[in-house]
Amino acid sequence: MSNLKNKKVAILAADGYEQSELESPMKALKDAGAQIEIVSLKSGEIKAMKDHQWSNSVNVDKIVSESDCADYDALLLPGGVINPDALRGNEDAVNFVKGFFKANKPVAAICHAPQTLINAEVVSGKKMTSYKSISADLKNAGANWVDEEVVTDGNLTTSRSPEDLPAFNQRMIEEFSK
């Protein structure tokens, strides 16, 4: 499967990302031929959470304050509880996300990751899903929240949790290959 050959995808994450929600989509993207860059708030490494414990780390390729959405074809936002909270509080990260929406580039977000999208002010009027505990936040921000495995509305694909990763990965590859 090489339908993402010549596509460059940013994975925006910070310490506390959900391990499976970064590693599984990253593997799917690489298997489809995409070039991946981990973009974060700091250089070095960022650490995952798995089963509410600190876990693996990944190397950061670029810091978000020095990144431009124009350099990428698509954006992946993994979830976790700590990760999106750190991202949504960072002006550079929020502006980076906004850039993908202004350029109508595909964005995929899973679990708690849509919290960053709320701060980027890009969810109003969008049909989307997420981890159930943030459904009220999304509704209050104007999203049409639904409890479905994976939802695509325009350039945005969302999913609920690690259990949905197979469907999320498949849809993300389809959307990123357009």
pLDDT in tens, 139-170: 999 999 999 999 999 999 999 999 999 999 99
Q: What is the pLDDT of residue 2?
A: 53
Clarify whether 112 is annotated catalytic.
Answer: yes
Q: What is residue 1's predicted lDDT score, i.e. its pLDDT?
A: 47
Among 7, 88, 105, 112, the one annotated catalytic? 112
* Global pTM exceeds 0.85: yes
Closest by CA position to 133, among listed 175, 174, 161, 101:
161
In the residue annotation, 69 being an active-site residue is answered as no
Name the 3-class secondary structure at 38: strand
Q: Crossing angle for the helix pair 165-176 and 19-31, nearest 10 degrees?
A: 40
Assess contact for 110 and 79: CB atoms under 8 A.
Answer: yes
Low-confidence stretches of the chain (pLDDT beneath 70): 1-2
Residue with tokens 């124009």: 70
Residue 3: predicted pLDDT: 87
